[in-house]
Structure 1
Amino acid sequence: MRHQGKITAWKDDQGYGFITPNSGGDQVFVHIKSFVSRRQRPALAQIVTYELRRDESGRAQASAVDFVLRRKTARDSRSTGANRLTPNLAIGFLLFVALSAWAGKLPTAVPALYFAASLVTFGVYAHDKSAARANRWRTKKSTLHLLALIGGWPGALLAQSHLRHKSGKAAFLGVFWSTVLLNGGTLILLLTPGGKMLRAALGIA
């Protein structure tokens, strides 16, 4: 017998939460491994159907969990638009620094740094998402932010969009975009005439 309920608690970094049944009663524990599809990440307020079973301690636990399709709202449309914008922003920026280096406005080391850092950052995001699903040791948020700050933020944007990892956490994204602004501000400084002195000091003139 299948039941229907709403996800009323979800810890994405730990991969578990609780479902409140539509019919009432106690909350039901649910683990990320219990979902039928891994293409969609669970989130608060999502409606799901599930089968009910008991664990070894006799506690209720959801299994064979599936999402219930719902009408697309204006908020969903905005979210979809943002998901399309972020990879374009990342790719556009990488092309910009590559063309700037080709035109002699930036040292070739700068686009090389961005491309290498982005590749590493994308890989770290992928590893962290895999660890979240398997309940393994996670990558520290500070490490992800440091990678973004040193130039890996385009790779982070691509990972957030394509892997749907860390893309729905407001606190994390607030710090992330701060690292993007800091990194971008430094790049703008390098492009100004006064940036030549900074580039010489950094040994990348």
Structure 2
Amino acid sequence: MQQSEQARTGRVVFWQDVKGFGFLVCQQSQQKLFFHIRDFVSKSARPELGDELRFVPGKDKRGRPIATSLQFIEPHKQQTPANNASQSINLDYAEDVSLYFRSGFLMLLIIALLFGSLPYVLPILYIEASLFTYWLYQQDKAAAISGQVQRLPEESLQLYSFIGGWPGALLAQKQLAHKRSKFRFQREFWLVVFGNAMLIAWLLSQHGQEFMGRLALFGS
């Protein structure tokens, strides 16, 4: 009852579909308010610029005003299951691409070890792994926003972070607001980052250099 008395209306003036957030301007106060996809009453809602929404004023954890309990004023704006399915993300394709990436990455790593050039190739490996890991986070975030049951395994995301993609993963977590609020995932992620740092430190140490020297069949 209290929510209906506090209900306001507003028009969407900004919407970032990948990240799942936007801004609306309240028609009663002309105030610009932040809103998130998770605050829609209907979990299949997909707002667009210019949509008129009914909402209840609220505050975030920092006490800043936001729009909550969001609903479309026009019923036809609600997405049907068929429309929602048409926006589904093909994660099978992402997993297939992951297989090709792993194969290519492993081949490049073996070649670098055989030629004794791993320390020089490491920056390239990190950049490739980071770009690919960021793309995987994008795909998984889009699947989460669309409400898909199928998601990328968290173990896969952590694996690509371990092989050098953690800078891309960290950037994706911040820019896409994805996986950063899950304590268990974050705990594992930082253990992966630590493990990767320790591995690189060992490879660049004297013992690591001696080990790579024994593997370098074609090095000078």
- Show the 5 A alignment for 1:72-91: 72=62
**2:10 alignment partner in structure 1:** none
Q: CA RMSD in A?
A: 3.7
Amino acid corresponding to residue 69 of structure 1 in structure 2 = K
Distance 2:36 2:210 in 1: 47
Q: Give the equivalent residue in structure 2 for 1:166.
A: 179
Tell me, in whole angstroms, the C-alpha distance in 2 between the residues paired with 1:164 and 1:67.
Answer: 22
CA distance in 1, matches of 2:21, 2:163: 38
Relative to 1, partners in 2 of residues 1:64 and 1:127: Cα closer, same or farther, differing over 3 Å?
farther
Partner of 2:190: 177
Gaps of 5+ in 2: 5-19, 24-33, 43-52, 64-116
2:163 equivalent in structure 1: 150
Look up the match of 2:138.
126
The count of corresponding residues between Structure 1 and Structure 2 is 130
Q: Which residue of 2 aligns with 1:111?
A: 123
Q: Secondary structure at the match of 2:3?
A: strand
Structure 2 CA distance for aligned equivalents of residues 189 and 145 of structure 1: 21
TM-score, reference length from structure 1: 0.52
**Counterpart of 2:207?**
194
* Partners of 1:106 and 1:191 within 8 A in 2: no
* 2:54 is equivalent to residue 69 of structure 1: no
Q: For residues 148 and 199 of structure 1, do their structure 2 counterparts lie closer, same or farther at Cα, with a shift above 3 Å needed?
A: same
Cα distance in 2 between the residues matched to 1:114 and 1:193: 22
Cross-structure match for 2:79: none
1:129-140 → structure 2 map (5 Å cutoff): 129-136=141-148, 137-140=150-153
Q: Following TM superposition, by how much is the alpha carbon of 1:195 offset from its aligned partner in structure 2, in angstroms?
A: 1.4
Native 8 Å contact 1:132 1:138 kept in 2: yes
1:56-108 residue CA offsets vs partner (Å, 9 max, x unmatched) = xxxxxxx85566235737xxxxxxxxxxxxxxxxxxxxxxxxxxxxxxx9722
Structure 1 CA distance, aligned partners of 2:21 and 2:166?
A: 32
How far is 1:113 from its partner? Answer: 0.6
Equivalence for 1:3: 3
Corresponding letter in the other structure for 1:200: G
Tell me, yes or no, if the aligned pair for 1:36 and 1:65 is still in contact at 8 Å: no
Choose from 22, 36, 61 the match for 1:37. 22
Q: Indicate if the aligned counterparts of 2:21 and 2:37 stay in contact, CA closer than 8 A.
A: no
Q: Which runs of 5+ in 1 are unaligned?
A: 5-34, 53-62, 74-104
**Structure 1 residues 65, 155: closer, same or farther in 2, change over 3 A?**
farther
Contact 1:36 1:66 in 2 (8 A): no
Shift of 1:154: 0.5
